[in-house]
Amino acid sequence: MWRGMLQRELTLALRRPQDVLTSLIFFVIVVSLFPLGVSPQLSVLQGIAPGVIWVAALLANMLSLSRLFSDDFRDGTLEQMLIAPQPLSLVVFSKIFAHWLLSGVPLVLISPLLGMQLGLAGDPLKMLMLTLLLGTPVLSLIGAIGAALTLGVRGGGVLLSLLILPLYVPVLIFATGAVDAVGSGFDADAQVSLLAAFLVLALCFAPWAAAAALRIMME
């Protein structure tokens, strides 16, 4: 049953591949602007690389979030999902999972290229990928709550960023902290375990909260 739901989400999203590409291109462009704005020196860029890539990832993730529920909301599918026999949180979870597969995973895959552009290599680069792999699903999960709460609200896109960017702060801090730690020769076990803990916490809590938010906004 769950695979069917996931398949539906993926097929629908892949019918419009430009959506997936847009947020990926946005990610690449934002990161590429920093050397132009700061300095082309690799020593300078190395210092800010984890932060730049992570902030760009937060923004790219947020851009694609506003569409998480809005298409289904507009054509009435969401209303049917609300009264369907399957638990709503499971439907929401499959939507979030599809969102992560199509917006988070591409970021993870392209991040080594951008990391190298900014002078990261070796272990810090691997750590950057690992933090993105652990962190982007957390972003999608928390973001889904915001996307549900701003559903059908005027000015929803800007409002969404105001609601969820502050909640992304812990992920940003520990992810960039992990890359920095590895870069200066320490191990980053603590940060990685905390990111994993955030992921577990968000997995338990966010689909349920997003489903509750959807119920509030649709009742």
Partner 1 sequence: MSAEYATSAEKSLPWLKFANPRNFYPLAGKMIPWFTALAIIFTLIGLYISFFVAPTDYKQGESYRIMFIHVPAAWMSMFIYIVMACYAAIGLIWNIKLSDMMAGALAPTGAIFTFLALWTGAFWGRPTWGAYWVWDARLTSELILLFLYLGFISLRAAIDDPRRAARASGLLALVGVINVPIIYYSVKWWNTLHQGASVSVTESPKMASIMLTAMAVMAFAFWMYTIAVVLARVRTDILEREREAVWVVEEVSRTA
> What does the binding site for partner 1 look like in residue numbers (CB under 8 A)?
145, 149-150, 153-156, 159, 162-163, 165-167, 169-170, 173-174, 177, 180, 198, 205, 209, 212-213, 216-217, 219
User: Which residue's CB is nearer to partner 1, number 27 or number 198?
Assistant: 198
Among 118, 112, 114, smallest CA distance to 41 is for 118
Burial category of 18 from C-beta neighbours within 10 Å (exposed 0-12, middle 13-18, buried 19 and up): exposed
Cβ at position 107, least distance to partner 1 in Å: 21
Q: Is residue 97 exposed (0-12), middle (13-18) or buried (19+ Cβ within 10 Å)?
A: buried
CB of 61 to partner 1, least distance (A): 17
Q: Which is nearer to partner 1, 68 or 102 (CB)?
A: 68
Q: How far is CA 98 from CA 1, 6, 42, 115, 201, in A?
A: 15, 6, 36, 25, 19
Which residue lies nearer to partner 1 by CB, 103 or 150? 150
**CB-wise, 104 or 146, nearer to partner 1?**
146
The distance of closest approach from Cβ of residue 188 to partner 1 in the complex, given in angstroms and rounded to an integer, is 12
Q: How far is the CB of 172 from partner 1 (least distance, A)?
A: 9
Helix (H, G, I), strand (E, B) or coil at 84: coil
